[in-house]
Amino acid sequence: MQDSQVAILQAECERLQAQVAELTRFQRIVEDTDQLVTEVDSNGIFTYVNPAAERFFGYRPADCIGRSSLEFLHPDDRERAQRALGEWVQRGERTVTVENRVVHRSGAIFPMLWTIAIRYDDQRQFAGATSIAHDISHIQRLRQELAESRSMLRLIIDSLPQAVFWKDRDGRFLGCNQQLLRDAGFSSEAEIVGKTDFEMPWHDQADVYRADDLEVMRSGPKLNIEEPLTRSDGTTIWLRTNKLPLQRDGEVIGVLGMYEDVTDIKLQAEELRTFKLLVENAPDGIAIADPHLVITYNNPALATMLQYPSLVGKAVAEIVYPAYLPVLEQIAHQVMQGLTPRETVRYVRSDGALVTIQASALALRDAHGNLTGYASINRDITQQLQAEENLRLSERRNRALLDAIPDLMFLLSPDGVFLNYKADHSGELLMPPEAFLGKRVDEVLPPPLAEQVLHHIEQLKRTGEMQQFDYQLAIGDQILEYEARMVFSDQDILLLSRNVTEQRRIERERTEMQEQIIAAQQATLRELSTPLMPIADGVIAMPLIGAIDTMRAQQIMETLLNGVSEYRAQVAIIDITGVKVVDTQVASALVRAARAARMLGAQVVLTGISPEIAQTLVHIGAELRDMTTRATLQEGIDYALKRRIADPHLTGNDRRTGPR
């Protein structure tokens, strides 16, 4: 019977060792990875962070435990992270992927990609989360405190306690080992002999224990019973118990039992399940190979990456492009030296296509330091490399476009410090670049220009609208004129300045020419708008067309008086047949013109008065006593000629100053 019991115990020990080996393997993967692995409770407090935390947070893992995970997020991402968590929990999400930024103790910022496994309690309330994250700009490794963490884990596993006890058919203890005494709070075996489970600190579990004892004595061994036990100090631990019928001469006389405290293992198993969940759901391909580089495990991401249902059983060399086999050998060599290399390798997919991978590898060893295999984390950077190439092409195109812009460009900080520049095609600068880069505008520019630039910087920051202004600079013996535009470029300020000296000179010349043309046109228009024609000796006529405003009324008077004086006219005919509207202003202008003509010895004859205009003149009370009126221009000319015949003194050489 003892041999049988020993065999059972040995089998159980081997099963436990296999589980511990599996736990160790996955624990090492998580502890050795350069990715950030964290666990938080329902309040978002760190209960676990892997050594990678020091790289991204600037704190050791021990310094992170007990602190809110939000402390390490970028301030702009905290509210969004909290809101997203609330939405995930409301939807009952189990695994999510999210991007945000963490802030290093030094102030450095890392963009991170997180894969988060969310846990819930029995009431489906948020109970905590386990996350794996990596720097999405590049992959780095952290192995600090790995030896200490591995030693701690090995110590926990190697120190698992076991207890042995035996009872009679009535459930009274007949004996036990020291571990059970410690759990019961006794110092000697005599204190426990004769007692039942109902008299022990774990009396709350006694009914279950007694039922198991009766079933074992009736039906045979009962193995791997997981059950709680309350110890003498009031704490509750979890046991893995094996019970056998205790026989004497073929008769069952009681129960032989053995249990081990698996509280730590149970917790570690939960962690292992979490770690395995992280590995299974990691976006990067993860593989484990034996010492001969034959794959023994691959996660779904790697199978999807290489388009295989499974890679288990394949040699690593089968999936590596032949040209990269020397790189594979180099990786293996570095791993054997205790390094964790990270190299770029090209894998061959199942369809023959090539995939560019950034691979990191580490050695897996047992408790004695013997090599048991290799683990690798593989990231497909094919698209990343293509994106980088596209970015380089875009940068070259942008540089070409930038070079094609004829403007001077200056990049300024928000407080007016010169950060960068691009010269225009002339290459002319007020001073060499080393004299102004890194300095404020008021340190290097002439005071009026510096004040102007700083003013527009403040206007831009206040309104957010593009600023435009002109300025002049004396370079050499020339005064150059510039047209400037100022806009935001992210948080900085972009100032574009164009030399418009020649353009402004041409504009000024064009303006002067236009003014001369306009003046000539106005003079011509004046002549056309107030034509004066000599009809006969001593008789002139002025036919008016269109509207008459104040300026034109003045022109009419000037032209009329100049004509009377020039032609020594005694009769001046003003024909308003072409004037559609005669109002008070027009009537006053005609009256003033007639009076002025009389002062020069000429009589004004007004012709072309339509019935509508006649009514208007009567309505407005126009005084036309100083003028003679005729219906048409022809009648006016006839009147003037007849009067000239009737009065031979009405000649161009006989001017009279009195009224006619």
Higher-pLDDT residue of 67 and 18 is 67
The pLDDT of residue 652: 42
The whole model's pTM is what? 0.33
Selection from 171, 234, 155, 240 nearest residue 206 by Cα = 171
Question: Is 575 in contact with 544 (CB distance < 8 Å)?
Answer: yes
% residues pLDDT > 90 (the chain): 19
3-state helix, strand, coil in the chain (%, to 5): 45, 30, 25
DSSP-derived letter for residue 283 is S
Q: What pLDDT band is residue 658 in, cutting at 50, 70 and 90?
A: very low
Reading across the β-sheet that carries 539-545, which strands appear in turn?
Answer: 533-536, 539-545, 571-578, 603-607, 627-630
The pLDDT of residue 529: 54
The pLDDT of residue 526: 53
Q: Taking phi first (over 0 means left), then psi (-120 to 50 degrees means alpha), and beta for anything else, what does residue 408 get?
A: beta
Selection from 67, 275, 49 nearest residue 142 by Cα = 49
Q: What is the pLDDT of residues 192-231, one digit of tens each?
A: 999 999 999 999 999 999 999 999 999 999 999 888 888 8
How many angstroms separate the CA atoms of 135 and 227, rounded? 42
Tokens encoding 215: 């079933």
Question: Is 364 in contact with 28 (CB distance < 8 Å)?
Answer: yes
How many angstroms separate the CA atoms of 273 and 474, rounded? 75
Task: State the burial class of residue 242 (Cβ atoms within 10 Å of its Cβ: 0-12, 13-18, 19+).
Answer: buried
Q: What is the mean pLDDT of the chain?
A: 81
Give yes or no for residue 537 having a pLDDT over 50.
Answer: yes
Give yes or no for residue 657 having a pLDDT over 70.
Answer: no
- Min mean pLDDT across 23-37, 68-82, 451-465 is at 23-37
Tokens encoding 193: 């002999």
The number of helices, as runs of H, and strands, as runs of E, in the chain is: 19, 25
Q: What angle do CA 491, 496, 502 make, to 5 degrees?
A: 170
Tokens encoding 621: 């009370």
Give yes or no for residue 99 having a pLDDT over 80.
Answer: yes
The pLDDT of residue 195: 94
The pLDDT of residue 530: 61
The pLDDT of residue 267: 81
- Those residues whose C-beta lies under 8 Å from the C-beta of residue 451, and which sit 6 or more positions away, are 442
Chain CA centroid to CA 591, Å: 78
